[in-house]
Every structure is written in structure tokens, then in C-alpha cells.
Amino acid sequence: MSCSGFALVLAVVVRLTSCHELPFFSSREADSVWRKAEDIVNGMSPGDYSGEHYACGSGNWGDSGILDEWDSGRSPCWPGSLNMAASWDTELMERWSVETANEFGVPGRGQLGPGMNVARFAWNGRLGEYHSGEDPYLGAKFMEAMMGAYRKSSGTGVMPPLQVAKHFIANTMERDRTSMTAKIDERTLFEVYYPPFIAAIEGGVSAIMCSYNLVQCTSGMCTSERAYACANDDILNKHLKQTMGFKGIVMSDWDATKCQPESAGSKGCTPGHYVDKHVAASAGLDLEMPACMTMQGGTEVKAKERATRMWWAYLVQGRHFGRASFRDAGLREAYAPSVSAPHSNATRGTGGGFFCW
């Protein structure tokens, strides 16, 4: 639908002053945004970009990839991600994505999703959160559809939220998730586990969330060193940032930098403590969440790159890091009344808050 056409559909709820659509994402666009981010960071002092603001506990995030729990009365129950995968319908995925883009984009919350881990264990408690099912190709096509739809949704006058692709990587089950080690060869990672993430990166995703488990990549360019996913040089630097060309931020899952007893002997870990911040920063962790434990006090290790990646993650979605309010925040209350979604019978209501997953 054209920009003017979609604006007409929403005219009863949102008065648009402009209709600016984000450009098609490409490597050229990624490089252009990176130069803008570099210019911003070059104007800062080392003390500005090496502190906690760019290392931990930053941002305004929703609850999950399919539910903005924090905005009571404005959080519909979206179809589960695995339900979407079962449809094998990329056009439906595009429609779903436009709606979730507005759900998270209007209040200015980052979206802690999409989830895209390939199903490897039927009893994994979070399979319902993942768009890939058992097929990495299906997951990649769904991510391609989602990322494209998010950028097109900016034509409504609401910039899309930051998307956080998760959980990187080999996070195949919930039980003992903080203490298990995924021992896996490089070819399997690239052929089975990585394709949905690669598609998200090629579509302009802002952030990648590293998972709770330890990872030991055993071949290829890997060192076979065991380390938590959030402090793993093989998967974060060598694979994600260097080989896949990811320019956004690597965000930890909530408290995923805490060293469990089973982590003894892994890089940067002393059981009962948090991963050493210099090890984590060197390995590619950019933003620890939800608080400053590993990254307490900030760190000078890769500080300038980390700040540049933070700005890139926001700028690529047409947003600005560190502002008191997003530029579309004025649409927040206007969007609150129930509104029928285009091509859908779904409605947003203003009734009491609820939680669904």
C-alpha cells in the first residue's frame, strides 16, 4: 500500500504531519548509517563513550517479541511465533509484522524479538516464541519478510522499534539453560543455526541477543574454547560481526553474564561471580542487560566501537539514542483507541491490562 493510502486508513486515529519511509536496507545503507554513527561518536570524549551508558542497562524495551507487557490496555494477544511458522505464509508474516511494528513503535519501546532459534528439542519451553520451527530456511524467509515489512511500516509516520533477534546461539532448551554447553562444529552453526540470524542481519536488524548457555565451537576459524555465548569471541566476533557483517549491538539476555558452577574453567568466569568485563567486551558483548553487573563502571575495551554500534542500532530504525522521547512519541495517546487493522479483524482495545504469550 502506498504511503498516502496507509495514512488515510489511520487518519481517524493518527494525524500524520509527514510520511517518511525508511530506505530499502542494503550494505550500502548499512555503511551510510555507520558513517553517521561514527560522526556522532567522534564528537564525544573517551569518558563519554566508555561509561555505563553505552555498556549496560540502557534502552526502553517491551517484554517480548509478541507482547508489549508494560503498556497496560494496549497489548493484544498476538498469534504465537510458532503458529506463524506453521502457516508457511510469508505474506501473512508481513501483515503480522506491520501490526507488531506499530504495537512497539508507537510507545517507543524496543522489541525483545523476533525469536528465531531452530527447534532441536521438542520440550524446549520457549519454542512458541520462535519463528523458525525446525527449518532454518523457513526461519530465514520469515525474517526476510519481517524485516522488509518493518521498514515499509515507517511509511505510516511511525518509525519501527529496535528489533532484537534472539537467542544467539544454540539455545535449544530451557532446563539448565545457564549451565549447559552447546558443543558444535562451525559448519553446523552456519548451515542449521545461523540462517535466520543472517536473514535478520541482511534486513537491518538493530540488535542480537546472546543466549544463556555456554558454547564451544570446535572447528573452522574457532578456537574450541568454551565460553558463555555472551563472552564468546568465536561466535560474536569471528562469526557474527566479521563474517556476517553485523553492525548493530550484541545485547545479553537478562543476567546471562552470571557464571554458574558448571562454568568453571570457561573463559572469563569464576563461578558465583559475573563474567570479567574486559573478557566480555573483547569477545563482542556490547550491552549487558538488565543492569550493570559484568559491565559495572563501564570499560575502555572497544568503547568507541561499542558506542558507534549503539548509535547505528538506533539510527538504522530512524531513531536517536539517548533522547528523552522518540520523535513519534506524540502519537502515543492518539493511537490508544481501538482501531481496526488493515487486512485484519484484529482490534486494539483500551480495557484493563493483561498478559498473554
C-alpha cell at 183: 558443543
253 assigned to active site = yes
Selecting among 253, 276, 286, 328, the annotated active-site residue is 253
Cis peptide before 290 (omega within 30 of 0): yes
Cβ distance 224 to 242 under 8 Å? no
CA-to-CA separations, 354 to 128, 306, 348, in angstroms, rounded? 19, 36, 13
CA-to-CA separations, 209 to 157, 165, 254, 289, 307, in angstroms, rounded? 28, 6, 9, 10, 17
The sign of the torsion formed by the CA atoms of 138, 141, 146, 147 equals: positive
CA angle at 235 for the pair 26 and 124, rounded to the nearest 5°: 100
Distance from C-alpha of 277 to C-alpha of 294, rounded to nearest angstrom: 5
Residues recognised as catalytic? 253
